[in-house]
Amino acid sequence: MSKNEGRSAISPKRSEDYPEWYQQVIKEADLAENSSVRGCMVIKPWGYGIWENMKQELDDRIKSLGHENAYFPLFIPLSLLQKEADHVEGFAKECAVVTHHRLELKDGKLVPSGELEEPLIIRPTSETIIGESFSKWIESWRDLPLLINQWANVVRWEMRPRLFLRTAEFLWQEGHTVHASEGDAIEETLLMLETYRSFMEEVLALPVIIGRKTESEKFPGAVDTYCLEAMMQDRKAIQAGTSHYLGQNFSKASDIKFTNKEGELEYGYTTSWGTTTRMIGALIMAHGDDDGLRIPPRIAPKQIVILPIVPKPELEAEVYTYAEKIASRLKNLEYHGNKLSVIVDKRDKRGGEKSWEWIKKGIPIRIEVGPRDVESQSAILLRRDKGVKEKQPLLIEALEETVLKVLDEIQQGYLKEAKNFRDAHIKKDIKNFEEFKKFFTPKDKEKPEIHGGFVLAKWCGDPESEKILDELKVSIRCLPLDQSGTQGTCVLTGKEATIDAIFAKSY
Amino acid sequence: MSKNEGRSAISPKRSEDYPEWYQQVIKEADLAENSSVRGCMVIKPWGYGIWENMKQELDDRIKSLGHENAYFPLFIPLSLLQKEADHVEGFAKECAVVTHHRLELKDGKLVPSGELEEPLIIRPTSETIIGESFSKWIESWRDLPLLINQWANVVRWEMRPRLFLRTAEFLWQEGHTVHASEGDAIEETLLMLETYRSFMEEVLALPVIIGRKTESEKFPGAVDTYCLEAMMQDRKAIQAGTSHYLGQNFSKASDIKFTNKEGELEYGYTTSWGTTTRMIGALIMAHGDDDGLRIPPRIAPKQIVILPIVPKPELEAEVYTYAEKIASRLKNLEYHGNKLSVIVDKRDKRGGEKSWEWIKKGIPIRIEVGPRDVESQSAILLRRDKGVKEKQPLLIEALEETVLKVLDEIQQGYLKEAKNFRDAHIKKDIKNFEEFKKFFTPKDKEKPEIHGGFVLAKWCGDPESEKILDELKVSIRCLPLDQSGTQGTCVLTGKEATIDAIFAKSY
Instruction: Tell me which residue in A33, A80, A99 faces B99 most closely, judged by beta carbons.
Output: A99
The residue-averaged pLDDT of B51-69 equals: 98
Residue pair B457/B478 in contact by the 8 Å Cβ criterion? no
Measure B101 CA to nearest chain A CA, in Å: 5
Whether the Cβ atoms of residue B364 and residue B407 lie closer than 8 Å to each other: yes
Q: What is the pLDDT of residues A235-254, one digit of tens each?
A: 999 999 999 999 999 999 99
Q: Which residues of A touch B70 (CB under 8 A)?
A: 42-45, 48
User: Chain A window 101-120: which residues touch B at a Cβ cutoff of 8 Å?
Assistant: 101-105, 109-110, 112, 114, 119-120
A201, A293, A328, B349, B431 from A300: Cα distances, Å: 15, 11, 18, 46, 61
Q: Among A41, A75, A157, A341, which would you mutate to test the B interface (most chain B Cβ atoms within 10 Å of its Cβ)?
A: A75
- Banded pLDDT at B91 (limits 50, 70, 90): low
Do B297-422 and B2-287 fall under one CATH topology?
Answer: no
Cα separation, A104 vs B94, whole angstroms: 9
Residue B452: the pLDDT is 85
Say what the pLDDT of residue B93 is.
81
- Nearest residue, CB atoms, B98 vs list A89, A96, A171: A96
Average pLDDT across chain A, whole number: 94
Instruction: Indicate if the pLDDT at residue A2 is higher than 60.
Output: no
The predicted complex's ipTM stands at 0.96
Q: What is the separation of C-alpha B172 from the centre of its chain, rounded to a whole number of angstroms?
A: 9
Question: Using the beta-carbon criterion (under 8 Å), do A97 and B96 form an inter-chain contact?
Answer: no
At B274 the pLDDT is 98
Lowest mean pLDDT among A76-90, A373-387, B283-297, B306-320: A76-90
Most confident of A79-93, A343-357, A448-462: A343-357
- The H-or-E segment that residue B232 falls in is none
Q: At A425, is the pLDDT very low, low, confident or very high (cuts 50, 70, 90)? A: very high
Stated as kind and residue range, the H or E segment containing B79 is helix B78-82
For chain B, give me the number of helices (H) and strands (E)? 13, 27
- What is the rounded radius of gyration, in angstroms, for the C-alpha atoms of chain A? 26
pLDDT for the residue numbered B396: 94
Residue A88 with chain B: CB contacts under 8 Å: 103, 110
User: What's the pLDDT tens digit per position in B384-442?
Assistant: 999 988 999 999 999 999 999 999 999 999 999 999 999 999 999 999 999 999 999 88
Selected residues 168-207 of chain A with any CB under 8 Å from a CB in chain B: 169, 171
- Which residues, in sequence order, are bridge partners of residue B235? none
Interatomic CA distance for residues B193 and B204, integer angstroms: 15
CB B490 within 8 A of CB B450: no
Query: Does the pLDDT value for residue B3 go beyond 60?
Result: no
Contact predicate A73/B37, CB 8 Å: yes
**Chain-centroid distance, C-alpha B477:** 16
Residue A385: which residues within 8 A CB-CB, separation 6 or more? A294, A364, A409, A410, A413, A414
C-alpha span between A384 and A396 (Å, rounded): 20
Task: Tell me what pLDDT residue A83 has.
Answer: 79
Within an 8 Å CB–CB cutoff, is residue A92 touching chain B? Answer: yes
Q: Which comes out higher in pLDDT, residue A507 or A158?
A: A507
Contacts A–B by Cβ distance under 8 A: 188
Site from A35, A107, A150, A171 to mutate, B interface, most B CB atoms within 10 angstroms: A35
Report the first-to-last Cα separation within chain A, whole angstroms.
35
pLDDT of residue B2: 39
Return the SS3 of B30.
coil
CATH architecture of the domain A2-287 equals 2-Layer Sandwich (3.30)
- Whether B147 contacts chain A with CB within 8 A: no
Confidence of residue B82 (pLDDT cuts 50, 70, 90): confident
Strands (E), A5-163: 32-34, 41-43, 68-69, 75-77, 97-106, 109-122, 146-155
Does the structure show a pLDDT above 70 at A187?
A: yes
For position B442, what pLDDT does the model report?
82
List B residues 12-71 in contact with A (Cβ-Cβ < 8 A).
33, 35-37, 40-45, 48-49, 51-52, 68-71
Å from A43 to nearest chain B CA? 5
pLDDT in tens, B444-500: 766 666 678 999 999 999 999 999 999 999 999 999 999 999 999 999 999 999 999
For chain A, the structural domain boundaries read 2-287, 302-406, 426-504
pLDDT at residue B1 in the model: 35
Give the pLDDT band of residue B285 (cuts 50, 70, 90): very high
Identify the band that residue A446 occupies on the pLDDT scale cut at 50, 70 and 90. Answer: low
Q: What is the pLDDT, as a whole number, of residue A61? A: 98
**Which residues of B, range 343-372, sit inside 8 Å of A by Cβ?**
347-348
Contact A70 B45 (CB under 8 A): yes
Specify the 3-state DSSP secondary structure of A406. helix
Q: Which CATH number fits domain A426-504: 3.40.630.10, 3.90.1150.10, 3.30.110.30, 3.40.50.20?
A: 3.30.110.30
Q: How confident is the model at residue B168 (pLDDT cuts 50, 70, 90)?
A: very high
Q: Using CA atoms, how far apart are residues A311 and A493, in angstroms rounded to an integer?
A: 70
Q: How many CA atoms lie within 13 A of B470 on its CB side?
A: 8
Average pLDDT over residues A22-28: 98
B139 near A CB under 8 A: no
Chain centroid to CA A156: how far?
17
Residue A389: predicted pLDDT: 87
3-state helix, strand, coil in chain A (%, to 5): 35, 30, 35
Contacts of A129 in chain B (CB under 8 A): 35-37
Q: Does B403 touch chain A (CB under 8 A)?
A: no
Which percentage of chain B shows pLDDT scores above 90? 88
Angle between helices B399-424 and B278-287 (to 10 degrees): 90
CB-based contact (8 Å) between B72 and chain A?
A: yes
For A483-507, what is the mean pLDDT?
96
pLDDT at A65 over 80: yes
E-state strands within A20-108? 32-34, 41-43, 68-69, 75-77, 97-106
Q: What is the pLDDT of residue A108?
A: 81
| pLDDT reported for residue A4 | 45
In chain A, which residues have their Cβ closer than 8 Å to the Cβ of B43?
70-72
Rounded Cα distance between B91 and B88, Å, is: 5
The per-type count for chain A, helices as H runs and strands as E runs, is 13, 27
Which chain B residues have a beta carbon less than 8 Å from that of A73? Answer: 35, 37, 40-42, 169
Q: What per-residue confidence (pLDDT) applies to B4?
A: 45
Tell me the C-alpha distance between B58 and B64, whole Å: 10
Which of A88-92, A185-189, B5-9, B309-313 is predicted least confidently? A88-92
pLDDT (0 to 100) of residue A107: 84
What pLDDT sits at residue B348?
86
DSSP string, A437-483: HHHHS-S-TT-TT----EEEEEE---GGGGGGGGGGT-EEEEEESS-
> Among A23-32, B114-123, B447-456, which stretch is predicted with the lowest mean pLDDT?
B447-456
Contact A82 B121 (CB under 8 A): no
Q: What is the mean pLDDT of residues B172-187?
A: 98
Instruction: Give B199-226 pLDDT, tens digit per residue.
Output: 999 999 999 999 999 999 999 889 999 9
Contact A81 B110 (CB under 8 A): yes
**Averaged pLDDT for residues B258-267:** 97
Region of B42 (left: φ > 0; alpha: ψ -120 to 50; beta: rest) is beta
Please give the single-letter amino acid code of residue A41: M
| A157 vs B contacts (CB less than 8 Å) | 101-102, 114
Quick check: A448 pLDDT over 70? no
Cβ–Cβ < 8 Å for A470, A460: no
CA atoms within 13 A on the CB side of A142: 7
Residue A205 has pLDDT above 50, yes or no: yes
User: What is the average pLDDT across A399-420?
Assistant: 98
Biggest CA–CA distance in chain B, Å, is 83
Yes or no: is domain A302-406 CATH 3.40.50.800? yes
DSSP H or E run through A84? none
Mean pLDDT to the nearest integer, A331-352:
94
Q: Please tell me the predicted confidence (pLDDT) of residue B106.
A: 85
Contact call for residues B205 and B288 (beta carbons, < 8 A): no
Quick one: pLDDT at residue B86? 65
Q: Find all residues with CB under 8 Å of A364, minimum gap 6, and list them.
A: A295, A296, A297, A300, A303, A304, A383, A384, A385, A406, A407, A410
Q: Which of B89, B105, B119 sits opposite A112 (nearest CB)?
A: B119
Nearest CA in chain B to A349: B142
On the question of pLDDT at A146 being above 50, the answer is yes
For domain B297-422, the CATH architecture is 3-Layer(aba) Sandwich (3.40)
* Inter-chain residue contact B129 with A104, CB threshold 8 Å: no
Chain A residues near residue B157 by CB distance under 8 angstroms = 101-102, 114
Transcribe A223-238 into DSSP letters.
SEEEEEEEE-TTS-EE
What is the per-residue pLDDT across A106-119, written as a single tens digit (0 to 9) for each? 888 889 999 999 99
A363: closest CA among A53, A57, A29, A32? A29
B-chain residues within 8 Å CB-CB of A120?
37, 96
